Structure 1
Amino acid sequence: MSFKNRLFFLMGLDSVIILTSIFIGNYILLPNQNVLTTTLAISALSLFVFHHLLAYKYRLYHRVWEYASVGELISIFRAVTLSILLTAVVQLIVMQHIYMRTLLITWMMHILLIGGSRFAWRLFRDNYKNSSDKKKRALIIGAGSAGAMVVRQLKHNEDGELYPVAFIDDDIKKHNLSVMGLPVLGGKEVIEETVERLDIENIIIAIPSLKKKELNHIFTECRKTKAQTKILPLIEDLMVGNVSVSEMRDVKVEDLLGRDPIELDTKNISGYIENEVVLVTGAGGSIGSEVCRQISLFNPKTLVLLGHGENSIHSIELELKGKYGEKINYLTEIADIQDRAKMFSVMEKHKPSVVFHAAAHKHVPLMERNPEEAVKNNIIGTKNVAEASDTCGVNTFVMISTDKAVNPTSVMGSTKRLAEMVVQHMANRSKTKFVAVRFGNVLGSRGSVIPYFKEQIAKGGPVTVTHPDMIRYFMTIPEASRLVVQAGALARGGEIFVLDMGEPVKIVDLAKNLIKLSGFTLDEIEIKFTGMRPGEKLFEELLNDDEVHPEQIFPKIYVGKSTTESIDQVIDLINRFEKIEPNCLRDELLEIANNKKITNQLIGIN
């Protein structure tokens, strides 16, 4: 029905109700009296005029009544009540008498008939038009405002495939009560039983403010069922209309492993990045590109994107220019950090005040087979960039390291530890503030286990895990990058900053979660244990035992400092590594990186 036809229909319907109600009300009171009197005619005409004026004021003819709720009922109440009161004033002026009982009955009939005519369509729509017979039955986790919003939109969505049938909520005060006409059956401990009893096909977690740990507990219960689990977008996005309930998404592994966001010290970060020239090595990689995104939020004058792969550098350049336009000057350098002369040339050309060094070889098994390449890229490459930064007067140099540098058992971890030592050695003799930032596995980064697991699941399995007891720390790419940028603001020189990675995760549990999130059961996708690979450890450490600092210097950031007595051994290794047989080179890397003569101490920041 067009707006014009709809307007005439509602105005005509209201006119009939208004012009007849007062006569019917008077007849109910005085059945033996003539209803066609001058008093009633004047009153009916007054009601007609006042109602339509007030209906225009309260936009009663411009509302979508199939979504009518309390707000619409209040508008009808106001329009009807004011029209009755104004008519009473007309009666007092013209007839010097107010027919109170007649007006009261008329008021009740207006509320009932006008309000009823509006809400009848919604009742029909909710109970008959939106038949749930062909829809998938959904269980809503969370009987709060977000859950009620989900139920309302699902019920109103004719084309949607989900229909809500019940709530689950840990608030015992809501148990055995109804919300939006749906029962609250209990807490998360009854999820499995409820899904089976009510034949639930979808579970919707409708608690946007849910903490990661609590989400994990809920998902653990959902994983016991065959129902598909979805999660609600942020409540802020729903309220402002950026997304709708129809855009509910599947739970991602990042939701389960990520942590609650922290607030950065934007003032200090802006102090060393805003209007400055910043250079990022490895800018096309998963970590380097996200560091570039985070840096761009603080308005550097120029951001130099340096990397070896032309396609990845071009991709991040297009992305950043598309988002920030001419606000930031983005420059690209296709260069290999192993090329010492090129590094000095680039630094001299751009004169950056801040350097983030993200370029590195990170794949453990590959570096075990190619230790000389790990030395060239991770140690010599870092040394080239660091010395070029020192020579060209860079103010702050931040190297991105790894938890595998602690008590390393692999070539990759050893070369990253030696790279840390190079950076700390530079800090001892340079005006540049050299620091390293150490963290664990990053979700979604190149070489991460998660894409590998997803590929195996897509092929029907099995999912291969090296050891049932293997655990790792995980962090999302944006979170790690934000903390790297924050660590740069805390730099004094020589520190190893360590990011709080939260609770370690068993890899086998991660595999189970991914199988469930992909819509399969553990009976359908097998988990196979293949044995530990060369260079792997059952668990990773972020600090040595004697490096542990009791307090964080910033939320989720610790600081430690290691002395570098073995730097001469590092330099000696760099000078002769090409002549060393690969297995011997691996052994020597591990020996230097794990030198027991290296003492560790912690420093605080005042």
Structure 2
Amino acid sequence: MKLEQFLNLPPDVRRLLLVVGDALAVLVAVWASFAIRLGDWWPDMLQDVVWLFLLAPAILIPIFAGVGLYRPILRYADESLLYTIVFGVSVGILAMMAVWVFLREGLVPRSSWVICWLVLTALVGGGRLLLRRYLRRRFRSNTARTPVIVYGAGEAGAQLVNALRYGSGFEPVVFVDDNPRLWGSVVLGMKVWAPAKLHRLITRHEASLILLALPSTSHRRRREILEMLAGLPARVMALPTLGELTSGARRIDEFREIDVQDILGRDSVQPNEAFLRARVTGQSVMVTGAGGSIGAELCRQILVLRPRRLVLLERSEFVLYSIEQELNAMLDNMGWPPIELVPLLGSVLHQQRLQGVMESFEVRTVYHAAAYKHVPIVERNPLEGVYNNVFGTLHAAQAASAAQVETFVLVSSDKAVRPTNVMGATKRLAELILQGLAGEGGGTRFCMVRFGNVLDSSGSVVPLFREQIRKGGPVTVTHPDVERYFMTIPEAAQLVIQSSALAQGGDLFLLDMGEAVRILDLAQRMIALSGLTIRDDSHPEGDIEIQFTGLRSGEKLREELLIDADDLPTEHPMIRRAHEEHQPWSAISDCLKRLDAAGRRFDYPLVRLILQEAVAEYRPENGIEDWVWRAESRKTVTELAS
């Protein structure tokens, strides 16, 4: 029978044939144990122990079946199959010796038993290893497989190679590793090369993909590796992170696109558990804007800290449903004592509703993340931005004070520093409101946390670039010199929670954002790590074009975190406390009354003027962009002209 025909037989028939093969191997091993021991092809002693040829299969085959030798699928079998074979043969030979001695059928040299064990192990084990090797090669040869280079010859790299060999679609060809001691060695039949040889290896093996098997490598080292790989003619993908692997969120072979945090991320500081738990554990906590990028991550991290109750306030029904389902799934997986989730539809503009919620659910800490933060959209809808960001913060803070909430935390933005747009001006005015209320005294600690862009948030350039690259370009950048600070969403949320523990009242905390990143550099790296090239005048044959669209309305080239160069360290190395000038509550209150009156009359010029009075650093660089106001202005001009 051809091996191809054997592979097409039903599983039970294949197992029966394996049993027959093992029975023949047992007979050969028994014969060889005497032939080798006595140095003769058919020793005379075999006449005295002929019953051994019947006894051996009768004992060994049931033992092989009992230890599970016929259960594994050979193509997927690992080294545990060898252990099973050695164990089964050992137990079988010992059982044969015991039965033979008990029956007293004849004298067998002790060395013959050892030779029988060796030969049988070689025949049964070797035969299966050869068959497994053939099956794997046959499977790989019958499927179209992409050659890939694995960067990292450690434990993760070895697991990845094994996973790829079992699956379809990719064929690992070589390892690359930073460790010089591994260069030239062979791991799982693949040679380990130095990173300097990558370009040659890509060409030799026609590899179009490099897989990073570095789940525990620091962000700094990962960034250096990615910068080196960006110039190669191959796409780069990564294994899941160590946290994803240990938590079971991803398998070793579920490699992913290179995240922007791989490019820009930094090694995060170990969180202070005392700070994390101070305002959360065992307490009733409320998050406004619970379905947004920051709000949702705050909810996830707060839940892990085991509050007594988590109140979710969100104006969008869909995102409230989504985050509630996600948090309930987290609770089911945790298996902890139940934590009360309270998902509420509502707007931060409804102060009475907010106060009732906070009192009814005995809220002790509020994380106020509800805000409109997309600069161009708020610029074209300024009144909505003013009411949501300014008066939403005012009403939420006053509700917290009336409900005797202990701590109120405003999630602010670096765009509040010397703003050139409505969004930034409203966030700065929101800060001034809390500083003014803090100056009035009372039982609520008000504080603000200011930081820059978070990676992959709604409105971020990162998902936009990724989608543009996927579609073949062009990738749009507003200006070649525009720079932004970036931080991962989990790190930002974690630091916001820790900041709340440091609050004394009226505090303005700044998160350490690291170095500013040029957006053009970010776009170029994302294109290169996708295995594509940039198309420009010098390289007209490139894959992706970068187009400069010009700064959007109200957008700055560079963002800042400090208005005045005066900040002090705190007990946390990533959090600083700023000291900035602010106004008394009486001045802020008067400004808010006039702002509300102007907004109700839809007096856009007056709204802008009041914002400039309240936020002295606000310097708009464009005219009023509100869609309705501009349409009415055009209509008025047309009527006058006619």
Fold match by TM threshold 0.5: yes
Residue 444 (1) aligns with residue 456 (2): yes
Letter in 1 for 2:572: F
* CA displacement 1:345-379 (0-9 Å, x = unmatched): 44444442211111222222344455554443323
Quick one: which of 530, 533, 536 aligns to 2:549? 530
**Residue in 1 aligned with 2:624?**
none
Aligned-partner SS, 1:546: coil
* CA displacement 1:139-167 (0-9 Å, x = unmatched): 1111111111222222232xx11111111
Shift in Å, 1:132: 7.5
**Residue in 2 aligned with 1:207?**
214
* CA displacement 1:270-329 (0-9 Å, x = unmatched): 453344332222223222233223223334343333233344334434443455479344
Shift in Å, 1:121: 0.9
Residue 27 (1) aligns with residue 35 (2): yes
Asked if the contact 2:287–2:366 (Cα under 8 Å) also holds between the matched residues in 1, the reply is yes
Letter in 2 for 1:483: L
**Residue in 2 aligned with 1:602?**
none
Residue 12 (1) aligns with residue 14 (2): no
Question: Cα distance 1:312–1:243, how it changes in 2: closer, same or farther (>3 A)?
Answer: closer
Letter in 1 for 2:135: R
Asked if the contact 2:276–2:501 (Cα under 8 Å) also holds between the matched residues in 1, the reply is yes
Letter in 2 for 1:584: L
Question: Cα distance 1:301–1:96, how it changes in 2: closer, same or farther (>3 A)?
Answer: same
**Residue in 2 aligned with 1:543?**
562
Aligned-partner SS, 2:141: coil
Shift in Å, 1:458: 5.3
Question: Cα distance 1:321–1:236, how it changes in 2: closer, same or farther (>3 A)?
Answer: closer
Residue 182 (1) aligns with residue 190 (2): yes
Asked if the contact 1:487–1:497 (Cα under 8 Å) also holds between the matched residues in 2, the reply is yes
| Cα distance between partner residues in 2 of 1:370 and 1:213 | 41
Q: TM-score, length-normalised on structure 1?
A: 0.86
Quick one: which of 163, 167, 178 aligns to 2:175? 167
**Residue in 1 aligned with 2:109?**
99
Between stretches 570-579 and 453-462, larger displacement belongs to 453-462
Asked if the contact 1:175–1:184 (Cα under 8 Å) also holds between the matched residues in 2, the reply is yes
State, as a whole percentage, how many aligned pairs show the same letter: 37
Shift in Å, 1:269: 3.9
Letter in 1 for 2:582: T
| Cα distance between partner residues in 1 of 2:484 and 2:563 | 16
Residue 588 (1) aligns with residue 610 (2): no
Question: Cα distance 1:195–1:476, how it changes in 2: closer, same or farther (>3 A)?
Answer: same
| Cα distance between partner residues in 2 of 1:352 and 1:210 | 41
Superposition pairs of residues 29-428 of structure 1, within 5 angstroms: 29-31=39-41, 33-34=43-44, 36-38=46-48, 40-45=49-54, 47-48=56-57, 50-52=59-61, 54-56=63-65, 58-84=67-93, 87=96, 94=104, 98-131=108-141, 134-157=144-167, 160-187=168-195, 189-234=196-241, 243-260=250-267, 263-266=270-273, 269-321=276-328, 323-324=330-331, 327-369=338-380, 371-428=382-439
Question: Cα distance 1:185–1:409, how it changes in 2: closer, same or farther (>3 A)?
Answer: same
Letter in 2 for 1:414: A
**Residue in 2 aligned with 1:600?**
none
| Cα distance between partner residues in 2 of 1:229 and 1:258 | 17
**Residue in 1 aligned with 2:495?**
483
| Cα distance between partner residues in 1 of 2:417 and 2:234 | 42
| Cα distance between partner residues in 2 of 1:36 and 1:91 | 14
**Residue in 1 aligned with 2:631?**
none
Aligned-partner SS, 1:412: helix
Q: Which runs of 5+ in 1 are unaligned?
A: 595-606
| Cα distance between partner residues in 2 of 1:31 and 1:344 | 98
Aligned-partner SS, 2:544: coil
| Cα distance between partner residues in 2 of 1:176 and 1:544 | 56
| Cα distance between partner residues in 1 of 2:208 and 2:612 | 55
* CA displacement 1:49-74 (0-9 Å, x = unmatched): 55346535543233333344443223
Asked if the contact 1:273–1:299 (Cα under 8 Å) also holds between the matched residues in 2, the reply is yes
Quick one: which of 570, 580, 590 aligns to 2:588? 570
Aligned-partner SS, 2:338: coil
Letter in 2 for 1:327: P
Asked if the contact 1:68–1:119 (Cα under 8 Å) also holds between the matched residues in 2, the reply is no
Q: TM-score, length-normalised on structure 2?
A: 0.82
Letter in 2 for 1:320: L
Letter in 2 for 1:491: A
Question: Cα distance 1:173–1:589, how it changes in 2: closer, same or farther (>3 A)?
Answer: same
| Cα distance between partner residues in 2 of 1:269 and 1:507 | 32
Question: Cα distance 1:333–1:47, how it changes in 2: closer, same or farther (>3 A)?
Answer: closer
Aligned-pair RMSD on alpha carbons?
A: 3.3
Count residues in correspondence.
589
Shift in Å, 1:200: 0.9
Residue 453 (1) aligns with residue 465 (2): yes
Question: Cα distance 1:302–1:108, how it changes in 2: closer, same or farther (>3 A)?
Answer: closer
| Cα distance between partner residues in 2 of 1:27 and 1:344 | 94
Letter in 2 for 1:178: V
| Cα distance between partner residues in 1 of 2:23 and 2:154 | 41
Q: Which runs of 5+ in 2 are unaligned?
A: 1-8, 536-542, 620-642
Residue 503 (1) aligns with residue 510 (2): no
| Cα distance between partner residues in 1 of 2:448 and 2:246 | 41
| Cα distance between partner residues in 1 of 2:246 and 2:393 | 48
Shift in Å, 1:568: 4.7
| Cα distance between partner residues in 2 of 1:531 and 1:589 | 29
| Cα distance between partner residues in 1 of 2:314 and 2:91 | 72
Asked if the contact 1:192–1:221 (Cα under 8 Å) also holds between the matched residues in 2, the reply is no
Shift in Å, 1:565: 4.1
Asked if the contact 2:420–2:618 (Cα under 8 Å) also holds between the matched residues in 1, the reply is no
| Cα distance between partner residues in 2 of 1:86 and 1:458 | 64
Asked if the contact 2:202–2:208 (Cα under 8 Å) also holds between the matched residues in 1, the reply is yes
